[in-house]
């Protein structure tokens, strides 16, 4: 059994876990704390998941003062920390596929825009943390995707190189960050971006079922 890729990095939200209901609720709560009572279309919110929270605001059309931006971010994070398990679920076949990759000797990691402590809590609550070798979330001073820094930092933590590594994600930022870091890319269509949109970024692979990742990574 040969490996086409020795290392696989995954995005978290929209790739391994479906957290959309809790994220939507947290965005709405954060806006309410800035005096905005706007229900928003859930699809509009989901179209910006994976971006830094200040960019989520701008993408939704809100241009707030810096104090209100910080108020939104704090309220979002506090609400999400209290409610992240309310509706969270793994996408189909996540545990199965992670176990198969581990059994084959593939190094695995998570690269997410979530804060480090929240990423670790979510991964632990869903059983994912026991099946990945590294979790890279955001802390002060770190860069966000599409900057390649989080991808490259995760690879260093895993003792891996860009060549022979694959990034799996549901958003354009995953593709762009991985490509800038020199990795091949695999976009998934069950997350928060539509397949035609993802395809416009020309990922190396596009899959609609996580089980299809296994023959991409493992030859024979």
Contacts of 69 (CB under 8 A, 6+ apart): 54, 57
- β-strands 107-115, 7-10 pairing: parallel
Structure tokens at 208: 């609609």
Picking from 181, 140, 151, 115, the residue whose alpha carbon sits closest to that of residue 9 is: 151
Distance CA(183)–CA(181), nearest Å, equals 6
Give the residue ranges of DSSP H helices in the chain: 20-32, 42-46, 53-59, 66-83, 94-103, 116-125, 149-158, 172-181, 195-199, 213-217
Q: Which of 53, 111, 97 is nearest to 218 (CA)?
A: 97
* Residues marked as catalytic: 11
Token pair for residue 163?
Answer: 């060549």
Confirm if 7 and 164 have CB atoms less than 8 A apart.
yes
CB-CB contact of 185 with 175 (8 Å): yes
């Amino acid at each position: 059994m040969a490996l086409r890729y020795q290392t696989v990095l995954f995005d978290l939200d929209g790739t391994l876990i479906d957290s959309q209901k809790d994220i939507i609720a947290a965005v709405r709560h954060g806006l309410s704390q800035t005096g905005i009572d706007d229900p928003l279309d859930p699809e509009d919110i989901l179209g910006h998941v994976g971006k830094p929270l200040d960019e989520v605001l701008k993408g939704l059309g809100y241009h707030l003062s810096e104090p209100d931006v910080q108020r939104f971010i704090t309220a979002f994070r506090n609400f999400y920390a209290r409610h992240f398990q309310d509706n969270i679920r793994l996408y189909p076949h996540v545990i199965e596929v992670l176990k198969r990759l581990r059994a084959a000797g593939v190094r695995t990691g998570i690269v997410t825009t979530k804060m480090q402590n929240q990423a670790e809590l979510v991964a632990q609550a869903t059983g994912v943390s026991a099946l990945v070798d590294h979790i890279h979330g955001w802390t002060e001073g770190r860069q966000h995707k599409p900057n390649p820094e989080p991808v490259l930092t995760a690879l260093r933590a895993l003792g891996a190189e860009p060549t022979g590594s694959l990034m799996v994600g549901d958003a354009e930022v995953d593709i762009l960050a991985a490509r800038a870091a020199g990795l091949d890319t695999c976009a998934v269509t069950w997350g928060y971006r539509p397949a035609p949109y993802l395809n416009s970024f020309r990922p190396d692979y596009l899959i609609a079922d996580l089980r299809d990742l296994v023959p991409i990574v493992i030859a024979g």
